[in-house]
Structure 1
Amino acid sequence: MKNFIFISIFLLSTVLTTAQTSFHLDTIYANDQKNVALFFPEPIRQGITGSENFVFTYNREKGQYFGLLQAKPGKESNLLVVNKNGSVFSYIVKYRKKLDRLNYFIPTSKSIGNEKPIALDSTTIVKREDTIDNSTYYYNKFCSYLIGRKQRIGRIKKRNEGIVLSVENIVFDKKELYFVIQVENKSSLDYDLNFLKLSIATRKKGKKKSLQRLYQKPVFKYSLPAKIKENETVRLVYVMPKFSLSNDRRAILELNEKNGERNLKLKISHRFINNPN
């Protein structure tokens, strides 16, 4: 048991030393009156604090996605969490009498590295297929995380004949914008999807007002259905290359029905695009 504690403390100090030289560590505040919940993208395998006045509890027998942090008055310390897939997360933890935040939803992008990094020598060639697979894995995980959140960016909604199209959230991560889209079928007929497209519309100058559209191709689509049954609600994500809009431009999300006329065009203001979550 002593050897395990020694190894854990050594691992914690080693990772933190590396992390502090390469990353800016976020700070999480806790106290002894309330539980601060940390939700991770993968089940927690190990959680270690650097001081006894901080306690991080999680289910050691059955892997769960969240752990609870409590703290007693004292000096600041650190928290190291290793997920089931080897992803490592590191934070500075401090005691605070009054807490402004009780829940932290931590995305995969906050990981400082992996427990078992892959060492590549100069003769190793990274194949394009491997890069694509890694990107697909990340998109799937992050999109799944966004679908599970209840965060909203604003009221962006359009209705037509019992079909409701809405953009629930727009999130910026790395070099992409993630559009969390919801489609509700409140009608008594199934909705067969023909296409769902996002375009940028520019208003032409002159006496005759018209819109010029430029369609944007998603780099990834998550949970796009072919059919939405009656009284069914689906949520999906479109991953788009990062872009911004001027005041005279706007994004338009088009939902088109196959062999039907229940079509919708949802206009998205430039302020939502330029100020994502």
Structure 2
Amino acid sequence: MKNYMIISAILICTFVPQLCSAQVLDTLYANDTKNVALFFPEPIRQGITGSENFIFTYNREKEQYFGLLQAKPGKESNLLVININGSVFSYIVSYKEKLSNLNYFIPVSSSIGNEKPKVKDSIPVETLESSVDYGTYYYEKFCRYLLDRKQRIGRIKNQTESIVLSVENIVFDKEELYFVIQIENNSTLDYDLNFLKFSIETRQKGKRKSLQRLYQEPIFIHKLPTKVRENETVRFVYVLPKFSISNDRRIILELNENDGERNLELKISHKHINNPN
């Protein structure tokens, strides 16, 4: 019986060698205070990390050869990058407080293969790109990252009847602005959210001064609650297309209670919009 098992193992490794060899991946190190640049032989089409502790950013609108890696303390994960020619690169990524290398120039020989391998009898398979909405995937992942960072841009808040609305952070990434928002309910009654709207308010000059508001539609919303319970604080993220405003304009956040009168407005100056984190 023992000899039979040995012979079987030899036969398997002879005819199916890929099952008997473990793939060894290189490790890339990053932290949350520096950008680690990865330069690839072809422009990047996709880049995905396996854990929320790691963020890999690259230009999704214009083809570029490099991406930036950042990490937060935590367990190691992996990074998968696909170039426009289908070349696949895979790495282990790990957090390291002190970095000895901030730039990695990736050679063609580091590719572990191609996303469309040539086979004699090909079977139609739904590609990774078509099965996942990478815009939504990236927004959600980056929003979770911002909620974990606890970074603040300044004191932007307003309150009414123990309901506090504040903007903790405004972050620019790629072609979007991320607004990290907090609602704090210090009252003894639950707060049922009707809507939270963004608008640009413009002061009309002249003898008859007036205000005009243009509502801004978010392209993604992460963890917006329908209810904030008594003595509860919730945080969520609105993602809007990048924009800037002149000094005669400002952003207005309108918080409206469903079947209630605890409504309030929060004003954000052009300085915060034009100088995000």
8 Å contact from structure 1 (residues 176, 242) kept in 2: yes
TM-score of the superposed pair, with normalisation by structure 1 = 0.62
Match of 1:68 among 89, 96, 113: 96
Matched, 1:39 2:72: yes
Larger C-alpha radius of gyration, 1 or 2?
A: 2
Gaps of 5+ in 1: 29-37, 48-62, 72-76, 79-90, 94-113
Q: Which amino acid in structure 2 is aligned with residue 163 of structure 1?
A: I
Q: Is the 8 Å Cα contact of residues 40 and 66 (structure 2) preserved in structure 1?
A: no
Q: TM-score, normalised by structure 2?
A: 0.62
Separation in 1 of the partners of 2:185 and 2:206? Answer: 40
Give the length in aligned residue pairs: 204
Deviations 1:62-94 (Å, cap 9, x if unpaired)?
A: x9x9633457xxxxx53xxxxxxxxxxxx349x
Do the aligned residues in 1 keep the contact of 2:220 with 2:240 (CA within 8 Å)? yes
* Residues 151-183 of structure 1: CA deviation (Å, up to 9, x unaligned): 101100001000000000000011100000000
1:209 shift after superposition = 2.2
How do residues 185-264 of structure 1 correspond to structure 2 at under 5 angstroms?
185-264=185-264
Question: Residues 85-107 of structure 1, C-alpha deviation per residue, up to 9 Å, x if partnerless?
Answer: xxxxxx349xxxxxxxxxxxxxx
Q: Which amino acid aligns with 2:76?
A: I
Partner of 1:54: none
Q: Residues 197-247 of structure 1: CA distance to partner in whole angstroms, max 9, x if unpaired?
A: 000000012223221000000000100010000000000000001110001
**Residues 1-277 of structure 1 aligned to structure 2 (within 5 Å):** 8=25, 18=41, 22-23=65-66, 38-39=71-72, 43-45=75-77, 67-70=95-98, 78=101, 91-92=102-103, 118-119=115-116, 130=130, 133-277=133-277
**C-alpha separation between the residues in 2 aligned to 1:187 and 1:11?**
48
CA separation of 1:164 and 1:263: change in aligned 2, threshold 3 A: same
Q: Which amino acid aligns with 2:235?
A: R
The one-character-per-residue Cα deviations of 1:37-78 (angstroms, maximum 9, x if unpaired) are: x417x952369xxxxxxxxxxxxxxx9x9633457xxxxx53
Deviation at 1:133, TM superposition (A): 1.6
State how far apart, in whole Å, the 2-side matches of 1:120 and 1:170 are: 43
Q: Name the SS of the counterpart of 1:180 in structure 2.
A: strand
Structure 1 pair 149/245, CA: closer, same or farther in 2 (3 Å)? same
The alignment's C-alpha RMSD in Å is 4.0
Deviation (angstroms), 1:135: 1.0
- Indicate if the aligned counterparts of 2:28 and 2:94 stay in contact, CA closer than 8 A: no
- Tell me the CA shift for residue 24 of structure 1: 7.4
Distance in structure 2 (CA, Å) of the matches to 1:234 and 1:247:
31
